[in-house]
Amino acid sequence: MLVLLSVAATGALITVLLILRSAADGDTGEERAAPDSTVTASASPVARKSVLLDVEGAVIEEFSGDCTGSEYPHLCRHVRERLLAEDPRLLTRDGLTIRTTIDRRLQRAAQQAIDARVHRDDPQIATQVMIVPGEGAIRAMAASRWAADGPAFRQGTTAMPYTLTVALAAGLRYDDGFPVSDQYRPQDSGAFKNCAGQAVGEPAHVILNPEKKGDRFVTLRSGTRDAVNTFYMRLEEKVGLCETVRMAERLGLRRADGGPLRELETFTLGIDEVDPVSVANSYATLAARGRFCEPTMITEIRDGSGAPRSFPPRCRQVLDPAVADAVTGLLSDALAKSTLKGLGREAAGMPGTVDAFLAAWYAGYTPGLASAVSLGDPRGHQYPLSDVTIGGHRYPRVDGTSIPALIWKEAMTEAVRGTPETGFTRPDAARFGACHDACPN
């Protein structure tokens, strides 16, 4: 891509010629001219274009606020929304230099993993976001194509760890559990109460497991490993719907439309429409041992005068580190028992299968990087991920263990390559091991 920028400085016009190639086409970052390379000069005062910079200060692309022509549309839109929230007048100004947290190598890894599985002309949209735990810095935001309304889908079973976190914080242990069957319904409406104390249980609503395994005793360990719907409904009933919703909020989950999370009995099965930034960031809080940071893509904005406006990280501790470590222990076990093992780093994660295959997710993290992948059809619920062709392949159904998991693994394997190896803090076996008060008979 050829970008011609006009930069006004010391009463003269400096024309800067930058040669960039799209990260999705394999830009190594080694052939770009420095952002301040000087070619010609002119005395005519011309408005300078605003530009986006990556984490190293190299130009990504021009920024006008109109993201339809952007090579990084979801990145562009996220910047636009942040500027609107900060000061709407920023979108009317020329000459802004907007420094972002984007890492071009990670952006390329995410984009290439998506492109290998989902074609640009597929009606479905795949999106991946990568965030640094303990910082909130968004390192990559890639998608299969542009969507005017954004990549918001029901979260599915990637919401289960919020209930798990409440259970472990309340004193349950890895081998505590319940006898469950392949269907669940509450005994009465009072089995679930929202944060206003209202009964919201639906005895007429039957929850089913996708895989039929019969009556059995399921523990926190096995229920998480197998993402058992009926087990997690019983667990949420035990620890509380309101407590689960509040925990999700503390960890960083937000609805894509900005409204409150829905306090319904099936919250633990991921009924809220969310975007990958929110999901990846809630998992990043677990990776950071309970330290929540607001997700950010902008670190600094400079206007034509050079005056900087900085955006430092905003973080706070929201969870006992030992509880976060215990959740990570079970999510690590779930990943290790899946086809995603062999990432090259310690990793934890959870697939996200949505009822009726309306969408599919995978979310997970290493100690240094959290990521979420979503896949769905923005045309609505009448277009589920069943009996579909995606990326040139026919699928009878798509769940979190298929396309999203493969995108996640491929991108994260490349992302951690060549980075320092670190490990998770081991769970406190004395506090969380064995069972306590919900043991098998």
DSSP character string of 104-157: HHHHHHHHHHHHTTS-TTSSSEEEEEEE-TTT-BEEEEEESS--TT-S-EE-GG
Residue 298 forms beta bridges with which residues? 100
- For the chain, percent of residues with pLDDT exceeding 90: 72
The answer on pLDDT for 213 being more than 50 is yes
pLDDT of residue 38: 36
The answer on pLDDT for 151 being more than 80 is no
pLDDT of residue 74: 79
Give the integer Cα–Cα distance in Å for 420 and 432.
Answer: 29
**Cα→Cα distances 23→53, 61, 100, 117, 127, Å:** 13, 11, 15, 17, 15
At 107, the pLDDT band (50, 70, 90 cuts) reads very high
Q: Which residue has the higher pLDDT, 260 or 25?
A: 260
pLDDT of residue 134: 97
pLDDT in tens, 331-342: 999 999 888 887
Per DSSP, helices labelled H in 351-435 are 403-416, 429-432
How high does pLDDT run on average in the chain?
88
The answer on pLDDT for 68 being more than 90 is no
Long-range contacts for 309-317 (Cβ within 8 Å, ≥24 apart)?
309/86, 313/135, 313/136, 313/137, 314/136, 315/134, 315/135, 315/136, 315/291, 316/291, 316/292, 317/290, 317/291, 317/292
pLDDT of residue 282: 98
Q: Which residue has the higher pLDDT, 317 or 212?
A: 317
The mean-pLDDT minimum among 86-90, 102-106, 225-229 falls in 86-90
- For the chain, percent of residues with pLDDT exceeding 70: 88
Which one, of 37, 36, 19, lies nearest residue 28 by Cα? 19
pLDDT of residue 148: 62
Q: Which two tokens stand for residue 285?
A: 């809080």
pLDDT of residue 2: 34
What does the chain come to in residues?
441
The answer on pLDDT for 33 being more than 50 is no
Per DSSP, helices labelled H in 170-304 are 220-225, 229-239, 241-251, 276-287
The answer on pLDDT for 30 being more than 80 is no
At 6, the pLDDT band (50, 70, 90 cuts) reads very low
Can you tell me the mean pLDDT for 246-262? Answer: 97
Give the integer Cα–Cα distance in Å for 202 and 206.
Answer: 9
At 126, the pLDDT band (50, 70, 90 cuts) reads very high
Q: In sequence order, which residues have a C-beta less than 8 Å from that of residue 377 and are 6 or more positions away?
A: 123, 124, 125, 383, 384, 385
Q: Which residue has the higher pLDDT, 34 or 82?
A: 82
Classify residue 193 by its DSSP letter: B
pLDDT of residue 46: 53
Give the integer Cα–Cα distance in Å for 440 and 79.
Answer: 51
Q: Which two tokens stand for residue 55?
A: 């984490």
Can you tell me the mean pLDDT for 215-227? Answer: 96
The answer on pLDDT for 149 being more than 80 is no
Residue-range domains of the chain with CATH: 1-100 (no CATH), 153-294+314-432 (3.40.710.10)
pLDDT of residue 150: 60
Query: pTM for this one?
Result: 0.87
User: Does residue 204 contact residue 273 with C-beta atoms inside 8 Å?
Assistant: no
The mean-pLDDT minimum among 10-14, 191-195, 301-305 falls in 10-14
